[in-house]
């Protein structure tokens, strides 16, 4: 893989990020609503105090160029502004504290889903028309049609409320002193299980379907016929030849769908009171905390763009047909 | 051969899952001994640790734990020792001399003297004089309303406050006394930006040492607290997204106190072992506000002038069955509303029933409307005096489920009067914007007719009464009521010499607002809480009759009454009267964890709290990769077989 | 094969074209009916469409707090087949009316998505060159963006821009915002799909170059490209509809719905606020959730079936 190829892809990713920044800026400054009004139900706020607050947040200056310049400057410094809801807390801090729980949940769910979903889809597609296919595909379709929280709510009712096997929410049992880090880890995993199951199931649905159609296409390819002619067993052909080939386009699709997946994971977080970016987004939405919403959008977009970039590179590395010079 | 690989892999996976299944439930219960932690849950997120910057009940609750008021609110919201141990009044009633607790210290060990109190009060006084607000400006009025002219600290244990006239309000100031050595560098311009990050230094019973925004605040006992120590060594104030998860946590024993449940959840908890339910008064009311703005607003304003007419508004009141609303929407909890001072909570002592209360009578409402000049046309639509059929927009918030339900009732009742009502929800911030009149800014058009919302009062009704003054139009007034007679009464009650007089005047004000039908108070809100009794005892409602123990942002008194379950209840009277006795009791208390992040004991979530999830995440990832590797190896081994 | 050779007139050409079209339709139907998944999906969709168009066929008026007569959070019983919510409204009633709100929002959002996506896809594919590159960059940009997050953020902003009490065609601003927001965030994949089809049609077209000499761009797009892309658009519309309902349910669950005209997502939101999961009131959750899944699944099945029939893939097909 040449440096030029890498460079070109990197530049493309950067340009996209710049567009995201611009979009971000436009979105929020376009909103004529005044965030200081969030304070309004306070018995003693005078119009003069409101003006002061607006001035402090720079909301009384004209959009272009003052606010745009200020925006670019602060972006360059890594300053994402201050939360409206948590008066004075930098947005970066507010997001940083909620960032890891979402990454852990999403990351582990993606891994689990890739392992099980892709395998399931591959088997189903390979034995097309068979029982495995019908059940697997059917299951995949049903899961794919369920919004993430629709998967989560029954899980809570059955496994947490009724059976009591798992906690109903949160990431840790709070106010509890753990005897050792292992205990803490286990407590964390205990809380992680249901949210992880929810997001994984949702992803498995989508990935199995994706993989299945990919495998079906691959089945008809020449090299498969050749391998069969050589007398190799079906399972072997699937695992060594068909699967890796069918995997490639799927990888790209997985990366493209990341943005979509993030949104779904957010709703799963709500059901489980998981202290990640999803619950933060809903909180910020209800409080009209635009700086935080802006920050989350920026962060997620950049993350998705970077993930796509990585997937692109990976794809170029794996697929010899792609020109990487 | 392939079979063997598969079986081995299956056994490996099975072993992994079995181990996990065995360990995980154990993890749930793995705890170490002590400290005794009070875990309190609420669905209202904390917005700021700086008392001047918070607007929410959670914020008040937090600062009441961190700090003392000069004079605290006791079991029935009467004046009890706070930062000041005792006080005397001069014969002319204009000078109050406060004595501090001898040897009192801040939580960090610095001596707490009258100078801190003087500094705090002077700071607010200066702000009031300069006409500027501190932070969101919710606390400043308390000093102003007390009519303080001067504050001096002649010696470290004495604080002298001079008033412009005798006014008992100086004993009811909802202003926290702040440590000068922490806040002293702040000026009026900078104090709004001071975040007051944990660990907080204060003189209250517990100080915040950790705040994870949106998740929880962790408070640790003040080792130098002058007063009676509650049994809890630590307090966790935990923020839930839904009441549902909060109730679950309470039932499973993960929470000790749940604040603000729904009626159905409360009913479901009755009879649960070790759980007590409380239905107290929330010191808040829900009202139907009518847009009575008296001038035309181009491109905005109410859809009809009828709402400016008290007779019209009054007639509408007869088409509202507050009892039905309480029964059906609140499942019977709560009290049908009357005046703007709610019953059952801290403000109950100021409530005066109206002399001529309205009742539900559709026929009477129709009569009154006809008599006032609002007649029906041939199609059964009620017309305003301009001949237009009445079509009112009723707005409420997107999160206020009870209000939405009440709105449906009102829509139907007004429909029976021939008045069409359309309902819509907005989020609080947008609705606040919509309500504003041009006095708040040229872009505000007050384009609404009816709004259902609520108000939560402070223990002192002053701020609520202020909302109906002429000066409040453009900021807090949403009824746009302006009556010079009311304004005069407002000034008078502020200067009343004793409680009885003040109550009389406030009663007149309530009657005036009721007669002019400024609001239709739908109900006085119930406070539905529940708590466990298997770890903590000594729970007491505040006020004792009709109140609730903690979590209301009104007083932190009841935290000091808690005992460890099994221990006999400590006499609550002790803390109320004893001054010096209390501080010696504090000195005798055994050493408890300091406010600094504890090394081993209290919850492994302190310090490195960002590194821990990372570590855990890494381990989780490794585990999944192991499983994946098992699957892949199986494939490869199988392949090798075939080659 | 006719015995005598009839003169070829415009009328007879048109008649011939109609005959071919009808035969095409019959063919299509026969193939469609053979796919059980598509048929089942279609039946489900028809059922819900009926529910959405004429809810009064199934139940009375939409119950409100004042007309509710049931017990609070009552379990399913003989008088309330699916139980009641926290103020005593029948869940059956709510769910059936929920169909109307969900489907209408889905329909409108789909309309916007397809209109924007197909238009951009065709123009981009046909124009080629610079226009194509620029449009595709924009499309890729929107494709990658996290849609739901963007939707959540756009909603309050659009509401402010539109004015919170705006109304359009009888639809209130709050719901209108959801429609627009779903449309704005979902058009990208449609555009991509339509564009690739347009490209392949364009290639085929150059074989028939003779026919298109002298025609303007718009004419070509309308009369030559569009008919060949329509099949794909139809199949894609159905799938987009599934996605629209999915997104609408998510947004309503988060709290952007209208409690006075609840969609299924809004009912789930209300169930969550009323504490239904913890109180064990499964009947508050299962009906709307099942309907959502059923409708999305149905659309997906029909969409897949249409896709297979209308756009047979040449490679790897057995």
Instruction: Kindly report the CATH number assigned to the domain that includes residue A192.
Output: 1.10.3720.10
Q: How far apart, in whole angstroms, are the C-alpha atoms of residue B230 and residue A130?
A: 68
pLDDT tens, residue by residue, A246-278: 777 787 788 878 888 888 899 899 888 888 999
The Cα diameter of chain C in Å comes to 80
Beta bridge partners of B389: B383
Q: Is residue A89 part of a domain?
A: no
The residue among B19, B600, B604 with the most chain A CBs within 10 A of its CB, best to mutate, is: B604
Q: Could you give phi then psi for residue B161, rounded to 5 degrees?
A: -115, 125
Tokens matching residue A281: 């987004």
pLDDT tens, residue by residue, B440-465: 878 788 999 999 999 988 878 888 99
Of A85, A183, A286, the CB nearest to B27: A183
User: Cβ(C115)–Cβ(C64) under 8 Å?
Assistant: no
- Report residue C17's pLDDT band, with 50, 70 and 90 as the boundaries: confident
Name which of B181, A285, B124 is nearest C251 in CA terms: A285
Q: How far apart, in whole angstroms, are the C-alpha atoms of residue A218 and residue B176?
A: 72
Distance, in angstroms, between C314 CA and closest chain A CA? 10
Of B254, B455, B458, the CB nearest to A173: B254
Distance, in angstroms, between B631 CA and closest chain A CA? 8
Of C145, C152, C246, the CB nearest to A147: C246
Q: Which residues of C touch B243 (CB under 8 A)?
A: 273, 275
Residue C218 to residues B394, C221, C226, Cα–Cα distance (Å): 49, 5, 10
- Boundary residue ending a domain (A44, A76, A108): A76
Q: Which residues of A touch C154 (CB under 8 A)?
A: 27
Residues A38 and A181 in one domain: no
Site of tokens 């690739």: C196
Q: Which residues of A touch B39 (CB under 8 A)?
A: 174-175
Instruction: Give the residue from chain C lying closest to B251, CA to CA.
Output: C278
Q: Is B398 in Cβ contact with C65 (below 8 Å)?
A: no
Residues A239 and A293 in one domain: yes
Whether C208 has a pLDDT exceeding 90, the answer reads no
Q: Is A88 in Cβ contact with B195 (below 8 Å)?
A: yes
Beta bridge partners of B148: B163
pLDDT tens, residue by residue, C100-133: 999 999 999 999 999 999 989 988 888 778 888 8
CB pairs under 8 A between B and C: 87
Of B245, B398, B409, the CB nearest to C65: B409
- Boundary residue ending a domain (A15, A47, A76): A76
- Those chains having 3 or more beta-carbon pairs within 8 angstroms of chain A are B, C
Name which of C230, C239, C250, C260 is nearest C64 in CA terms: C260
Q: Is B39 in Cβ contact with A174 (below 8 Å)?
A: yes
Residues A126 and A253 in one domain: yes
Q: Which residues of B touch C64 (CB under 8 A)?
A: 408, 411-412
Q: How many CA atoms lie within 13 A of C249 on its CB side?
A: 29
User: Cβ(B196)–Cβ(B145) under 8 Å?
Assistant: no
User: Cβ(C32)–Cβ(C305) under 8 Å?
Assistant: yes
pLDDT at res. B623: 63
pLDDT at res. C89: 93
Q: Best-predicted range by mean pLDDT among A28-37, B417-426, C148-157? A: B417-426
Q: How far apart, in whole angstroms, are the C-alpha atoms of residue A201 and residue A212?
A: 16
The residue among B267, B332, B408, B426 with the most chain C CBs within 10 A of its CB, best to mutate, is: B408
Quote the mean pLDDT of chain A. Answer: 80
Q: Is B53 in Cβ contact with A190 (below 8 Å)?
A: no
3-class secondary-structure state, position B206 = strand
Residues A42 and A154 in one domain: no
Does the beta carbon of C134 lie under 8 angstroms from any beta carbon of chain A?
Answer: no
Name which of C179, C104, C175, C187 is nearest C140 in CA terms: C187
Domain that holds residue A102: 94-318
pLDDT at res. B528: 94
**C-alpha angle with apex B544: B540 to B549, nearest 5 degrees?**
40
* Residue B613, H or E segment: helix B611-642
Name which of B119, B226, B125, B135 is nearest B181 in CA terms: B119
Q: Which residues of A touch C151 (CB under 8 A)?
A: 263
Q: Which residues of C touch B264 (CB under 8 A)?
A: 72-73, 86, 274-275, 279
**Class of residue C217 by CB neighbours under 10 A (exposed 0-12, middle 13-18, buried 19+):** exposed
Q: How far apart, in whole angstroms, are the C-alpha atoms of residue B85 and residue C57?
A: 73
Q: How far apart, in whole angstroms, are the C-alpha atoms of residue C283 and residue C291?
A: 13
Q: Is residue A288 part of a domain?
A: yes
Residues A168 and A314 in one domain: yes
Residues A156 and A264 in one domain: yes
* C-alpha dihedral, C289 to C290 to C295 to C298, nearest 10°: 140
Q: Which residues contact A216 (CB under 8 A, 6 or more apart)?
A: A125, A128, C316
Residues A138 and A8 in one domain: no
pLDDT at res. B276: 94
Q: Is residue A83 part of a domain?
A: no
pLDDT at res. B38: 93
Q: Which residues of C touch A216 (CB under 8 A)?
A: 316
The full DSSP string for chain C is --SS-----HHHHHHHHHHHHHHHHHHHHHHHHH-HHHHHHHHHHHHHHHHHH-GGGTSSSPP-TTT--S-TTPPP-SSSTT-B-TTS-BHHHHHHHHHHHHHHHHHHHHHHHHHHHHHHHHHHHHH-HHHHHHHHHHHHHHHHS-HHHHHHHHHHHHHHHH-TT-EETTEEHHHHHHHHHHHHHHHHHHHHHHHHHHHHHHHHHGGGHHHHTT--HHHHIIIIIHHHHHHHHHHHHHHHHHHHHHHHHHHIIIIIS-TTS--HHHHHHHHHHTTHHHHT-HHHHHHHHHHHHHHHHHHHHHHHHHHHHHS---TT--
The residue among A19, A34, A150 with the most chain C CBs within 10 A of its CB, best to mutate, is: A150
Does the beta carbon of A16 lie under 8 angstroms from any beta carbon of chain C?
Answer: yes
Q: How far apart, in whole angstroms, are the C-alpha atoms of residue C260 and residue B366?
A: 27
Whether C207 has a pLDDT exceeding 80, the answer reads no
Does the beta carbon of C275 lie under 8 angstroms from any beta carbon of chain A?
Answer: no
Q: Best-predicted range by mean pLDDT among A92-96, A312-316, B477-481? A: B477-481
- Report residue A1's pLDDT band, with 50, 70 and 90 as the boundaries: low
Residues A147 and A296 in one domain: yes
Distance, in angstroms, between B405 CA and closest chain C CA? 6
Residues A48 and A129 in one domain: no
Residues of chain B with pLDDT under 50: 1, 25-32, 568-613, 634-643
Q: Is residue A41 part of a domain?
A: yes
* C-alpha dihedral, A222 to A226 to A229 to A235, nearest 10°: -90
User: Cβ(B278)–Cβ(B553) under 8 Å?
Assistant: no
Residue C276 to residues A206, B509, B530, C266, C282, Cα–Cα distance (Å): 29, 43, 18, 14, 7
**Class of residue A80 by CB neighbours under 10 A (exposed 0-12, middle 13-18, buried 19+):** buried
ipTM of the complex: 0.83
| Residue predicted with more confidence, C152 or C75 | C75
Q: Is B245 in Cβ contact with C276 (below 8 Å)?
A: no
Q: Is A239 in Cβ contact with B50 (below 8 Å)?
A: no
pTM for the predicted model, two decimal places: 0.84
Beta bridge partners of B459: none
Q: Is B244 in Cβ contact with C65 (below 8 Å)?
A: no
Distance, in angstroms, between A217 CA and closest chain C CA? 5
Counting the structural domains of chain A, the total is: 2
User: Cβ(A265)–Cβ(A103) under 8 Å?
Assistant: no
Q: Is residue A88 part of a domain?
A: no
Does the beta carbon of A200 lie under 8 angstroms from any beta carbon of chain C?
Answer: no
Beta bridge partners of B99: B86, B158
| Residue predicted with more confidence, C315 or C3 | C3
Provide, rounded to the nearest whole percent, the portion of chain C with pLDDT above 90: 30
Of B329, B393, B426, the CB nearest to C87: B329
- Beta strand pairing status for B519-532 and B275-290? antiparallel
pLDDT at res. A183: 85
Residues A113 and A59 in one domain: no
Q: Is residue A325 part of a domain?
A: no
Whether A45 has a pLDDT exceeding 60, the answer reads no
Q: Is residue A100 part of a domain?
A: yes
Q: Could you give phi then psi for residue B376, rounded to 5 degrees?
A: -85, 150
Instruction: Give the residue from chain A lying closest to C147, CA to CA.
Output: A260
Q: How many CA atoms lie within 13 A of A220 on its CB side?
A: 11
Residues A101 and A246 in one domain: yes
Provide, rounded to the nearest whole percent, the portion of chain A with pLDDT above 70: 84
Q: Which residues of B touch A291 (CB under 8 A)?
A: none
Q: Is residue A313 part of a domain?
A: yes
User: Cβ(B340)–Cβ(B519) under 8 Å?
Assistant: yes
Whether A47 has a pLDDT exceeding 70, the answer reads no
Of A150, A162, A305, the CB nearest to C292: A150
Q: How far apart, in whole angstroms, are the C-alpha atoms of residue B341 and residue B355?
A: 15
- Boundary residue ending a domain (A47, A76, A105): A76
Residues A123 and A261 in one domain: yes
pLDDT at res. A153: 87
Whether A188 has a pLDDT exceeding 50, the answer reads yes
Q: Which residues of C touch B412 (CB under 8 A)?
A: 64, 66-67
- Those chains having 3 or more beta-carbon pairs within 8 angstroms of chain B are A, C
Tokens matching residue B383: 């017309």
pLDDT at res. B577: 35
- Beta strand pairing status for B206-212 and B158-163? unpaired
Q: How far apart, in whole angstroms, are the C-alpha atoms of residue C148 and residue C146?
A: 6
- Report residue A245's pLDDT band, with 50, 70 and 90 as the boundaries: confident
User: Cβ(B51)–Cβ(B68) under 8 Å?
Assistant: no
Does the beta carbon of A301 lie under 8 angstroms from any beta carbon of chain C?
Answer: yes
Q: Which residues of B touch A292 (CB under 8 A)?
A: none
For CA atoms B15, B16, B17, B18, give the dihedral sign. positive
């Amino acid at each position: 893989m040449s440096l030029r190829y890498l460079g070109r892809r990197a530049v493309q990713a950067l340009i996209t990020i710049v567009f995201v920044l611009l979009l971000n800026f436009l979105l929020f400054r376009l909103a004529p609503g005044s965030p200081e009004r969030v304070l309004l139900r306070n018995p003693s706020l005078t119009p003069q105090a409101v003006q002061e607050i607006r001035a402090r947040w720079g909301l009384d200056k004209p959009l272009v160029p003052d606010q745009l310049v200020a925006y670019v400057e602060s972006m360059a410094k890594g300053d994402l502004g201050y939360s409206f809801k948590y008066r004075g807390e930098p947005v970066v801090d507010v997001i940083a504290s909620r960032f890891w729980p979402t990454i852990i949940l999403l990351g582990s769910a993606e891994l689990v889903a890739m392992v099980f979903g892709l395998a399931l889809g591959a088997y189903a597609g390979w034995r097309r028309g068979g029982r495995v296919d019908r059940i697997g595909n059917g299951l995949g379709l049903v899961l794919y049609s369920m919004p993430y929280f629709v998967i989560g709510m029954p899980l809570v009712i059955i496994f947490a409320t009724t059976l009591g096997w798992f906690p109903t929410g949160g990431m840790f049992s709070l106010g509890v002193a753990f005897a050792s880090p292992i205990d803490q880890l286990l407590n964390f995993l205990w809380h992680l299980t249901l949210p992880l199951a929810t997001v994984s199931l949702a992803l498995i649905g989508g990935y199995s379907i994706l993989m299945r159609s990919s495998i079906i296409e691959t089945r008809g390819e020449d090299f498969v016929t050749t391998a069969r002619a050589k007398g190799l067993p079906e399972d072997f052909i699937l695992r060594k030849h068909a699967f890796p080939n069918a995997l490639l386009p799927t990888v790209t699709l997985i990366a493209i769908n990341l943005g979509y997946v993030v949104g779904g994971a957010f709703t799963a977080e709500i059901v489980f009171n998981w202290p990640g970016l999803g619950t933060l987004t809903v909180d910020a939405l209800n409080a009209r905390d635009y700086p935080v919403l802006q920050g989350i959008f920026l962060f997620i977009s950049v993350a998705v763009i970077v993930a796509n970039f990585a997937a692109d590179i990976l794809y170029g590395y794996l697929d010899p047909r792609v020109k990487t010079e | 051969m392939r079979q063997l690989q598969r079986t081995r892999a299956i056994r490996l996976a099975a072993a992994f899952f079995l181990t996990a299944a065995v360990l995980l439930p154990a993890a749930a219960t793995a705890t170490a001994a002590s400290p005794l932690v009070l875990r309190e849950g609420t669905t209202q997120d904390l917005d700021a640790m700086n008392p001047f910057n918070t607007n929410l009940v959670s914020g008040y609750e937090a600062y009441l734990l961190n700090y003392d008021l000069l004079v605290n609110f006791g079991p029935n919201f009467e004046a009890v020792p706070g930062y000041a141990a005792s006080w005397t009044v001069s014969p002319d009633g204009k000078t109050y001399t406060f004595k501090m607790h001898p040897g009192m210290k801040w939580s960090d060990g610095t001596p707490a003297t009258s100078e801190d109190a003087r500094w705090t009060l002077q700071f607010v006084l200066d702000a009031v004089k300069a006409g500027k607000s501190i932070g969101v400006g919710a606390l400043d009025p308390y000093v102003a309303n007390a009519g303080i002219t001067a504050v001096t600290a002649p010696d470290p244990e004495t604080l002298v406050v001079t008033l412009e006239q005798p006014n008992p309000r100086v004993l009811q100031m909802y202003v926290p006394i702040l440590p000068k050595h922490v806040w002293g560098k702040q000026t009026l311009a900078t104090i709004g930006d001071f975040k007051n990050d944990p660990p907080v230094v204060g003189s209250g019973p517990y100080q915040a040492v950790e705040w994870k925004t949106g998740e929880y605040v962790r408070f640790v006992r003040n080792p130098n607290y002058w007063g009676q120590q509650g049994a809890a060594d630590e307090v966790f104030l935990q923020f839930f997204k839904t009441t549902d998860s909060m109730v679950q946590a309470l039932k499973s024993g993960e929470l000790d106190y749940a604040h603000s449940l729904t009626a159905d959840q409360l009913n479901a908890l009755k009879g649960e072992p070790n759980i007590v339910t409380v239905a107290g008064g929330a010191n808040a009311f829900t009202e139907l506000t009518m847009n009575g703005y008296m001038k035309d607003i181009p491109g905005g304003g109410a859809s009809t002038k009828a709402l400016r007419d008290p007779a019209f508004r009054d007639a509408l009141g007869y088409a509202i069955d507050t009892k039905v609303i309480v029964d059906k929407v609140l499942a019977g909890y709560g009290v049908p509303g009357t005046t703007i001072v709610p019953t059952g909570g801290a403000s109950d002592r100021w409530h005066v029933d109206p002399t001529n209360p309205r009742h539900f009578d559709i026929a009477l409402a129709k009569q009154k409307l006809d008599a006032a000049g609002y007649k029906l046309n041939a199609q059964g639509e009620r017309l305003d005096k301009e001949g237009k059929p009445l079509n009112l927009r009723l707005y409420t918030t997107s999160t206020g489920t009870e209000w939405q339900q009440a709105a449906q009732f009102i829509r139907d009742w007004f429909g029976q009067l021939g008045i069409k009502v359309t309902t819509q929800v907005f989020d609080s911030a947008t609705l606040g914007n919509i309500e504003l009149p041009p006095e708040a800014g040229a872009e505000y058009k007050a384009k609404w007719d009816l709004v259902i919302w609520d108000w939560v009062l402070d223990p002192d009704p002053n701020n609520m009464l202020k909302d109906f003054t002429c000066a409040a139009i453009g900021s807090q007034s949403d009824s746009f009521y302006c009556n010079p007679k009311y304004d005069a009464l407002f000034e008078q009650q502020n200067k009343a010499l004793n409680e009885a007089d003040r109550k009389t005047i406030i009663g007149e004000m309530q009657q005036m607002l009721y007669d002019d039908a400024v609001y239709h108070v739908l109900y006085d809100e119930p406070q539905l809480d529940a708590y466990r009794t298997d770890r903590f005892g000594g729970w007491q409602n505040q006020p004792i009759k009709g109140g609730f123990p903690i979590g209301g942002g009104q007083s932190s008194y009841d935290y000091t009454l808690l005992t460890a379950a099994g221990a006999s209840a400590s006499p609550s009277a002790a803390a109320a009267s004893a001054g010096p006795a209390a501080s010696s009791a504090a000195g005798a208390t055994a050493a408890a964890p300091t406010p600094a992040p504890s090394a081993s004991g209290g919850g492994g979530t302190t310090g490195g709290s960002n590194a821990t999830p990372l570590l855990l995440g890494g381990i989780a990832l490794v585990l999944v990769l192991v499983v994946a590797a098992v699957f892949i190896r199986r494939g490869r081994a199988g392949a090798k077989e075939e080659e | 094969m006719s015995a005598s050779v009839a003169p070829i007139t415009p009328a007879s050409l048109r008649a011939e074209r109609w005959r071919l079209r009808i035969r095409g339709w019959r063919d299509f139907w026969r193939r469609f009916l053979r796919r059980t998944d598509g048929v089942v999906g279609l039946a489900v969709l028809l059922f819900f469409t009926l529910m959405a168009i004429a809810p009064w066929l199934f139940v009375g008026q939409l119950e409100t707090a004042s007309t509710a007569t049931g017990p609070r959070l009552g379990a399913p019983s003989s008088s309330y087949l699916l139980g009641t919510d926290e103020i005593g409204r029948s869940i059956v009633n709510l769910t059936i009316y929920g169909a109307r709100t969900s489907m209408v929002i889905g329909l409108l959002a789909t309309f916007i998505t397809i209109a924007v996506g197909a238009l951009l896809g065709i123009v981009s594919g046909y124009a080629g060159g610079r226009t194509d590159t620029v449009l595709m960059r924009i499309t890729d940009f929107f494709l990658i963006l996290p849609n739901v997050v963007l939707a959540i953020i756009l909603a309050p902003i659009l509401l402010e821009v539109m004015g919170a009490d705006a109304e359009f065609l009888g639809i209130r601003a709050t719901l209108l915002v959801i429609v627009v927001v779903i449309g704005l965030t979902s058009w990208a994949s449609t555009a991509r799909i339509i564009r690739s089809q347009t490209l392949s049609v364009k290639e085929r077209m150059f074989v028939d170059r003779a026919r298109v000499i002298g025609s303007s761009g718009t004419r070509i797009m309308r009369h030559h490209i569009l008919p060949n892309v329509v099949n794909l658009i139809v199949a894609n519309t159905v799938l987009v509809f599934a996605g629209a309902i999915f997104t609408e349910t998510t947004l309503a669950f988060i709290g952007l719905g209208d409690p006075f005209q609840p969609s299924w997502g809004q009912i789930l939101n209300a169930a969550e606020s009323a504490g239904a999961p913890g109180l064990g009131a499964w009947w508050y959750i299962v009906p709307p959730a099942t309907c959502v899944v059923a409708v999305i699944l149905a659309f997906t099945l029909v969409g897949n079936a249409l896709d297979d029939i209308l756009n047979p893939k040449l490679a790897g097909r057995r």
